[in-house]
A and B are shown apart, each in its own frame.
Chain A
Amino acid sequence: MLKIENLHVSVDGKAILKGIDLEIAPGEVHAIMGPNGSGKSTLSYVLAGREGYEVTKGRVLFEGEDLMEMDPEARAAKGVFLAFQYPVEIPGVNNVYFLKAAVNAIRRARGEAELDAIQFMKYAREKAKTVQLPQELLKRAVNSGFSGGEKKRNEIFQMAALEPKLAILDETDSGLDIDALRIVSDGVNALRSEERAMLVITHYQRLLDYIVPDKVHVLVGGKIAKSGDKELAKELESTGYAEIQAQA
């Protein structure tokens, strides 16, 4: 589904990603771990299409198409979703209206009929239930005044509503207490399916106790230094990144 080949990315002329190769098949969950500054968030942003990230070499194919050629909204329409590390607060924009605009834009792009206000409200309520998002947050401005846990839950709620093919979770666990982590993980696990791939980016091994990955990659200095199965995460937990960093 996703094929990253020798990806090099610079920000402000500074090389951040220095040759990433990664292939994710439908139904798989891959975890990317790594120390601060290793390029984890750069990878998530470049996949979602944020401006300011220059691909200097390599390519990214999503279902055979060149992802880097597409606008962010076109990527979303193809089924790419990024759960932000720091979800953006948008005062003045109602959460449910925003999501309706997003869902209907994607439905339009897929040639499906748009949902009207009543249909959408019903849909949103159901999705909110699956991720245990309090109903009152639907009517508030997007992420505005939400707690850290509420923001992350709102990301997973949006993911549930948009039903992406590839979900990228950028440090969705950072800053969460154990209860919030469980709720967010349950929401993510409920969305695992044969057709859906996930790329889980995290700083902490703890998340992978809740969202168990098929593969684990360690990102160091803009390159994947090591790949393995879920046991690799446990190994890292005991040895830390220092050893891999030294090898890299």
Chain B
Amino acid sequence: MTDRVEGLMAAVPAEPRGEGPEWLQGLRREATATLRSTGFPGKKHEAWRFTSVRDVVGTTYETAEADDGAQAFVDETLGDDGTFRLVLAEGRLAAASGAPAGVSVRSLAEVLENEPSLVEPVLGKLAPAEHFAALSSALFEDGAVVVFEKNAVVETPVHLVHVASPGAAPKASYPRVVVLAREGSQATLVESFLTRDGEAKHLTNTVCEVQVGANARLDHARITDGTPRALQLAYLSVALDRDAFYGSRVVSLGGGLTRLELTTRFIGPGSEAHLDGVYHVDGSEHVDHQVRVEHAAGHCTSHVRYRGLLDGRGHAVFNAMGIVQRDAQQSAAHQENRNLLLSDDATIDTKPHLEIDADDISASHGATIGTVDESSLFYMRSRGVPESQARDILTFAFVRELIDRIAHAPLVKRASDRVLDRLPHGDAIRELTE
């Protein structure tokens, strides 16, 4: 290694950050050592085959400071959406008061200072230990800790809004989130990722670790609005205890680079996960979803349903891996990825696949790439709807079907609106569907 380190690796200190409890220091040491020895992934890594991070890694970033205007920006952008909303400006949680009963939301930095044992069983335990997840473990300073108390039924969605504020020079932030849905709790969590206008590239490198306790139900929407300058790399790692439910509703709308690595692990029997995703790319945008489901316990069901709209010269990547371990009998693992090609120049690389070591299970996987359904198109035209309008309606309906599963009506509306904002004739479709 040369004396002068450039690019993203320059952010990694030779000596890891020293403060905090021993387990945290250990996590940081290991992450730093892993990064220094193995570095960042290249094309030869299966999960990164179709997504180049050369540009991400080759850039030298300043550490992003919290942006004072973030709260006002969020209020203006999102309006009143009926959620309990908290802003994380560049990964820093400003204030967290007024949470609904049964919920606590705290700054991760504060928890690590005052009550580190709260997050010790989860932080760094669920997320991968390499690549950009290791970068987060080495460098994160703050983030949020969300706890849904035992048997709490929380009607109001808890909404974490991540705000990135690009500046004149490239900046990076490392928001870290820990979610503990205690036994028997029932709640909706929303994460929104917004990027403000700005000149230079901005890297948001997020790790979110979620523990869903026994018999708990957590619905987790994750809406990412991309911008051309936004590089958004994210890990979402979920562990489900027995008889739990986890619903993931991912909406990824463009961006210079938007990547999510979602890992869901069943560690107790009788649980169910619905992993839905919607994405849209246009221009030269790049969106990558890596969805991994590990059935380590029996009698669990997973449904992976991702749908994409591909326009312009956009590039989408979808990779699903379902693993059913030998003892995980009576598992059901289903994966479906469907794509509508709206342009000849757009690209999709899709690969749903399963690795099954148990014999008494049901499983399916499939991917389609096509245009709108011809029989639906004819049906609508035969009723008088002009062809171009029918195509527009069917294109939107293709993703709307999954967006409708988001648990909170104002969020369904916002996600739909954002998709429509990006579609040709979006306003016309909006008029028809309002």
Which residues of A pack against B, CB within 8 Å?
48-51, 71-73, 75-77, 81-82, 84, 87-88, 90-94, 97-103, 105-106, 109, 117, 141, 158, 162
Contact = CB atoms under 8 A, between A and B. Distances in A.
Interface string B371-409: 000111011111111110100011011111100100000
B97 interface: no
Contacts of A76: 381-384
A156 B394 CA distance: 22
B385 A88 contact: no
B433 interface: yes
Contacts of A50: 378, 382
Nearest to B401: A92
Contacts of B396: 92
A91 B383 contact: no
A101 B393 contact: yes
Nearest to B383: A102
Given A73-B386, A73-B387, A92 B380 contact: no
Given A49-B381, A88-B378, A93-B394, 13 more contacts: A49-B382, A51-B374, A73-B386, A76-B382, A76-B384, A88-B375, A91-B397, A91-B401, A92-B396, A93-B397, A94-B433, A101-B380, A162-B384
A162 B384 CA distance: 9
B344 interface: no
A109 B399 CA distance: 30
Contact of B404 (A77, A92, A158): A92
Looking at chain A's contact residues, the main secondary structure is helix
B401 A100 contact: no
A84 B375 CA distance: 11
A10 to B, nearest CB: 18
A102 B380 contact: yes
13 contacts: A49-B381, A50-B378, A72-B378, A76-B381, A76-B382, A87-B379, A88-B375, A90-B376, A90-B397, A93-B397, A97-B432, A98-B393, A102-B385
User: 6 tightest CB-CB pairs across the interface, nearest first?
Assistant: A92-B397, A76-B384, A92-B401, A72-B381, A102-B383, A88-B379
Contacts of B398: 92
Nearest to B399: A92
B434 interface: yes
Contacts of B404: 92
B433 to A, nearest CB: 5
Contact of A73 (B385, B399, B400, B433): B385
A50 B383 CA distance: 12
A72 B389 contact: no
Contact of B432 (A48, A82, A84, A100): A100
Nearest to A109: B384
B35 to A, nearest CB: 43
Contact of B378 (A51, A91, A93, A97): A51
Contacts of A49: 378, 381-382
Contacts of A75: 382
A180 B380 CA distance: 24
A105 B379 contact: no
Q: Which of A50, A73, A103, A109 has the most CB of B within 10 A?
A: A73
Contact of B389 (A82, A87, A105): A105
